[in-house]
Amino acid sequence: MTDEARQMFLDKHNQYRSLVAKGQANNGQGGFAPKASRMSKMNYDCAAEASVMSWLTQCTLQPSPMSYRGLGLGENLWHADDKSIDKVKAANESTASWFGTLQSAGMFIGQDNTLGLNAYYLGAQYYAQMAWQKTLSLGCGVVPCSNMAIVGCHYKYATMLGGKIYEMGDPCTTDADCKCIGCVCSKDEALCLVPPQTESQNSYWKN
């Protein structure tokens, strides 16, 4: 992996999360996904990158078993026919593909913004993982294989069937709106910046 590719993966995820938070993410039904009141801004996690790279090097498009990546880590996978695809381009195209499942399968997401079985198995899980409010970090990789390139990200933390993708409501305009000790609202992005010590104390999830 290169620093440029890492930055592209991170930036694209946060750009898409910002679209969701602002109510500007097209849901494929002539409307938009609901606004998010406390959407977190992701950070890059090198341990998550090491985790996903260890799976991608096996050159299979099958999802890794939970026993392999450990409880709590989510996963998105994608492939490119061009095995020598530029890693920055792969980051851009894979994230666009995953987020695009909001338009193709978003209709199956519950009105209460929960990830049910239908939505999960019909493809919305890729979008849901990108927009999962309680996911605070990710690590990604691109690996050339014999006839394609495998691209993937591991996320801390994973989606949960039946769980809310994010809390709905007007996005933050003040730090207090994030309802989290030490958190800072990035008004332009409509995202909440969660400091590492807050993550370790789990206070972000207690409100």
| Gap between the Cα atoms of 134 and 131, Å rounded | 9
**HSE of 194 in the Cβ direction (CA atoms, 13 Å)?**
24
- pLDDT tens digits along 84-119: 999 999 999 999 999 999 999 988 898 899 999 989
Tokens matching residue 137: 């970090």
H helix and E strand count, the chain: 7, 6
Q: Which of 68-77, 104-113, 192-201 has the lowest mean pLDDT?
A: 192-201
**Residue 205: pLDDT above 60?**
no
pTM of the model: 0.93
Taking only the tens place, the pLDDT of each residue in 154-180 is 999 899 999 999 999 999 999 999 998
Question: For position 69, what pLDDT does the model report?
Answer: 78
Q: Please give the pLDDT value at position 201.
A: 52
First to last CA, the chain: 36
The per-residue pLDDT for 30 is: 86
Does domain 3-172 match CATH 3.30.390.50?
no
Spatial strand order in the sheet of 43-44:
43-44, 137-144, 149-156, 73-80
Which of 69, 84, 94, 67 minimizes the C-alpha distance to 151? 94
